[in-house]
Amino acid sequence: MTSSFPPGFRWGVATSAFQIEGATTADGRGPSIWDTFATLPGAVAGGDTGEPAAEHYHRLPEDLALLTGLGVDAYRFSVSWPRVQPSGRGRPERRGLDFYRRLVEGLRDKGIEPFLTLYHWDLPQALEDEGGWRSRDTAERFAEYAVLVHEELGDVVDHWTTLNEPYPCAIAGYAEGRHAPGAREGHGALAAAHHLLLGHGLAVRAMRARATSGQRFGVVLNQSPALPVTRSDADIAAAERQDTLLRRQFTDPLFGGRYAPGLTTMFDGVSDFSFRHDGDLETIGQPLDYLGVNYYYRLHVADAPHREPDPARRTAADIGVDTTRLPDVPRTGMGWPVEPDGLTEALVGLHHRYPGLPPVYVTENGCVYPDIVDERGVFADEQRIAYLREHIEAARAAMAAGVDLRGYFCWSLLDNFEWAHGYKHRFGLVHVDYPTQRRTPRASYHWYRDHIAACRTA
């Protein structure tokens, strides 16, 4: 397996600010929508919040040492917008920026390439109070914030990702209410999806105008291919609706120069799409240097009645599908079906659908299983190792089928705050004991280290 990856293929790990940093009130940081959401009764399992997370903000040297020990080529992390602009606009908070400079310089010292993500879901609460992503103004604010960070860190960061997964931001956040800010809307959620894309385009255009030649700009999307559970016309149409909502709503304007066909019909009576302005499509479709694909599972879709019959009261998640009928395949500790060939399918499918697709990275892939600690105190996570091995193999198969894949990032370096699941589910290659903050590399950490080393010498 190792010899099939070309020299220069990047092996990495990924994290995000809110999930690991903790220190939610340190050094002038403002509240984000996740700080607010986590205080709502029942919003996050166990009543968990962004404290303590993995206290990464205060444990940077230790975590840099873990990255060095792993031998990764690249580290994907996100900048917390409310650490840099506590109220989402205006003068930067110097102490927040200094933290990211220390991080990035620390990475560079160790020869690790920083992949910076500007937005991994932690919108400043002050902007949500003015409408959040429903509002076009938030797209403008995002571009300003992007330029600010780019001006501050452009000398040490070459890989600039605008958004992580606009789909859950818009749909889980503004339609399903499962994620911050916890809204359940139709038009508002579709507007949020559009404004996230618009913010991305404005940010790329503005940063590129100021960029040096080595800098690269991209976006990260979650890609769960949707398979109909039967070959009936109804199930096939349901799978198409699911795919339009989750994938093509984003990939068509980004890489296909058009809005996803079918989206307006699906939401007839839900939204008039008046948030689309002339010129937006061109802004959104800025040429990109890479696409990041996050893959965890495939969706199996059956036709189902809408939960709300009246379109005017329907949320943008209510598209007449049932995604609970899973095939008889192994599941992770979160119940997600393990289907590595879904990763190949996602990558190859993008490659065929969009001829001008930029080079691709797998920017997240990983899993959760209950911890098994052996008699020597070792976290013997053989299931995670098998999961990673199979998915890396699936990524390699996509390359053999013509996909220009440049790297793979495992999610995640550390156990962390898994959004609405709180601290219950652990994705880390490194176990974190939250009360003591002791870090213990799991067997998968050692396996991944050896895998990376073997690829280098192959």
Q: Which residues bind ligand FCB (CB under 6 A)?
A: 16, 19, 164-165, 222, 294, 364, 411, 418-419, 427
Question: Alpha-carbon dihedral of residues 199, 205, 210, 216, nearest 10 degrees?
Answer: 90
Peptide bond just before 412 cis, omega within 30 deg = yes
Q: Which of 55, 165, 185, 418 is catalytic?
A: 165
Output b/e per residue, 257-293; b: 16+ Cβ within 10 A. Answer: eebbebbeebbeebbeeebbeeebbebbbbebebbbb
Q: Where are the alpha helices (DSSP H) in 270-401?
A: 280-284, 341-353, 382-400
For the chain, give the longest Cα–Cα distance.
Answer: 64
Q: Which of 152, 176, 364, 418 is catalytic?
A: 364
Name the nearest CA neighbour of 338 among 379, 302, 382, 390: 390
Tell me whether residue 229 or residue 346 sits nearer to ligand FCB (CB atom): 346
Could you tell me the smallest distance in angstroms from the CB atom of residue 161 to ligand FCB?
A: 11
User: What is the Cα–Cα distance from 94 to 80, expressed in whole angstroms?
Assistant: 13
Active-site residue, 165 included: yes
Which pair of tokens denotes residue 76? 């994907």
E strands in 181-303: 216-222, 226-228, 290-294, 299-303
User: What is the Cα–Cα distance from 259 to 250, expressed in whole angstroms?
Assistant: 8
Active-site residue, 151 included: no
Peptide bond just before 181 cis, omega within 30 deg = yes
Chain centroid, CA 19 distance in Å: 12
User: What is the Cα–Cα distance from 244 to 332, expressed in whole angstroms?
Assistant: 26
Q: Are 250 and 166 in contact (CB under 8 A)?
A: yes
Query: Cα 92–180–241 angle (5° rounding)?
Result: 120
**Beta partners for residue 159, in sequence order:** 115, 216
Could you tell me the smallest distance in angstroms from the CB atom of residue 421 to ligand FCB?
A: 9
Angle between helices 341-353 and 382-400 (to 10 degrees): 30
Q: Is the dihedral of CA 180, 186, 191, 196 positive or negative?
A: positive
209-to-99, 147, 205, 215 alpha-carbon distances in Å = 26, 10, 6, 11
Per DSSP, 212 falls in state -
Burial grade of 362 (CB within 10 A; 0-12, 13-18, 19 or more): buried
Q: Are 218 and 289 in contact (CB under 8 A)?
A: yes
Residues assigned a catalytic role: 165, 364
